[in-house]
Amino acid sequence: MDGNGRWASERGLPRRDGHRAGADSVGACVEACGDLGVEFLTLYAFSSENWKRPKAEVEALMRLLEAFLKEKTGEMKEKNVRLQAIGRLDLLPASCQKRLHRAIEETSENTGLTLVLALSYGSREEIIDGIKSVVRAVREGHIDEAMIDPDLFSKHLYTRYYPDPDLLIRTSGEMRISNFLLWQISYAEIYITKKLWPDFRHDDLKEAVADYQRRHRRYGGL
Q: Can you spell out the DSSP letters for 126-195? A: HHHHHHHHHHHHHHTTSS-GGG--HHHHHTTSTTTTSPPPSEEEE-TT--S--SSSTTTTTT-EEEE--S
Q: Over the stretch 151-186, which tens digit does the pLDDT of each residue have? A: 999 999 999 999 999 999 999 999 999 999 999 999
Q: Over the stretch 14-49, which tens digit does the pLDDT of each residue have? A: 999 999 999 999 999 999 999 999 999 999 999 999
pLDDT of residue 218: 79
Q: What average pLDDT does this structure show over 111-127?
A: 98
In this model, does residue 222 exceed pLDDT 70? Answer: no
Query: Model's pTM, two decimal places?
Result: 0.94
Instruction: State the catalytic residue, choosing from 4, 35, 50, 164.
Output: 50
Q: Over the stretch 76-101, which tens digit does the pLDDT of each residue have? A: 999 999 999 999 999 999 999 999 99
Q: What is the CATH number of domain 4-213?
A: 3.40.1180.10
Mean pLDDT over the full length of the chain:
96
Known catalytic membership, residue 17: no
Element (H, E) at 84: strand 82-86
Known catalytic membership, residue 2: yes
